[in-house]
């Protein structure tokens, strides 16, 4: 089984101009950009991929299209989330059968579960498939706040191998990275903490920014892991910080799609009720992206 490491682009779900259908053909175009940039993998249908706005069939079609387009050139992690264990298992099994390397599951939301119920949910889903599961730690959206100790406890579940941390809690992330468990590997998923996480030895980052400027993101990773040149990495991070900081200040999927429009690799609009960025935000983002190294 392939060990997941490196820069994983959190990828958009391309939509037609009216936002009513999936633009499957666009997925291949996005994938070729990532291959050319040297991206180490992608995560579909997460926050960036607008999964809550997709029907089950749309969700499945996006996962399959990314896997088919990648064609084994990099691992594809299928993002999903459900308040129904049965539906989560259905999506997990579909993803495995389609060829996903792993699945990323956001915990049930709206009415947060007790830790006992959450443990059982992941135990059931992990037990239904043979590929590894990544926990999507997103307390700001789910209301599920776990300590580093609780995350390590979830790591006792067979197949519960990874965690994408999008909590923004630097101390908890530092705890997980400084005192790693042999059962679960923590990845960074909070854009502005990417440099922090890499400096603490994170083995991977799931990063929406990498959908917009993938070459710059891979370059930063290589500077850290291959060249081990901290001063050079600091300089590269200055631009990526600007992009990350901007995206954290706007609606995230709308920001990613605006960025793709700006650089000429459109993935269509966001789906209602999410609205596109305001004109002044687009102008600000355009100014930032003009500073990118690779055009």
Question: The tokens 């100790």 sit on which residue?
Answer: 149
136 included as an active-site residue: yes
Q: Spot the catalytic one: 66, 135, 136, 252.
A: 136
Instruction: Check the annotation: does 31 bind a ligand.
Output: no
Q: Spot the catalytic one: 64, 164, 215, 257.
A: 164
Instruction: Check the annotation: does 13 bind a ligand.
Output: no
Q: What are phi and psi of 8, to 5 degrees?
A: -105, 115
* Residue 138 and residue 81 in contact, taking contact as beta carbons nearer than 8 Å: no
Helix H or strand E segment including 33: helix 24-37
Q: Give the DSSP letter string of 154-211.
A: HTTSTTEEEEEE-S--HHHHHHHHHS--SS-EEEE--GGGHHHHHHTT-SEEEETHHH
Provide the 8-state DSSP code for 226.
Answer: I
Question: Distance between CA atoms of 255 and 243, rounded to whole angstroms?
Answer: 10
122 included as an active-site residue: no
Q: How many CB atoms lie within 10 A of CB 114?
A: 8
Binding-site residues: 48, 206
Residue ranges for the binding site for pyruvate? 48, 206
Q: Which residues are catalytic?
A: 136, 164
């Amino acid at each position: 089984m392939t060990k997941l490491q490196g820069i994983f682009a959190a990828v958009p779900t391309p939509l037609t101009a009216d936002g009513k259908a999936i633009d499957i053909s666009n997925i291949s175009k996005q994938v070729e950009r990532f291959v050319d940039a040297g991206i180490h993998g992608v995560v579909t249908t997460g926050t960036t991929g607008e999964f809550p706005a997709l029907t089950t069939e749309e969700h499945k079609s996006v996962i399959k299209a990314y896997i088919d387009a990648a064609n084994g050139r990099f691992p594809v992690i299928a993002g999903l989330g459900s308040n129904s264990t049965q539906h989560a298992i259905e999506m997990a099994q579909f993803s495995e059968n389609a060829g996903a390397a792993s699945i990323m599951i956001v915990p049930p939301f709206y009415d947060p579960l007790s830790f006992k119920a959450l443990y059982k949910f992941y135990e059931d889903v992990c037990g239904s498939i043979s590929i590894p599961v990544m926990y999507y730690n997103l307390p700001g959206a789910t209301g599920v706040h776990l300590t580093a100790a609780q995350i390590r406890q979830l790591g006792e579940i067979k197949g519960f191998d990874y965690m994408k941390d999008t909590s923004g809690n630097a101390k908890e992330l530092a705890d997980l990275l400084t005192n790693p468990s042999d059962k679960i590997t923590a990845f960074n998923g909070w854009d502005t903490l990417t440099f922090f996480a890499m400096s603490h030895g994170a083995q991977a980052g799931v990063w929406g920014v990498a959908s917009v400027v993938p070459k710059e993101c891979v370059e930063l990773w290589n500077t850290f892991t291959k060249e081990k040149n901290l001063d050079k990495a600091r300089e590269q991070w200055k631009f990526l910080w600007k992009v990350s900081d901007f995206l954290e200040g706007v609606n995230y999927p709308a920001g990613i799609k605006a960025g793709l429009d700006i650089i000429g690799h459109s993935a269509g609009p966001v789906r209602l009720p999410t609205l596109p960025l305001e004109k002044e935000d687009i102008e600000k983002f355009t100014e930032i992206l003009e500073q990118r190294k690779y055009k």
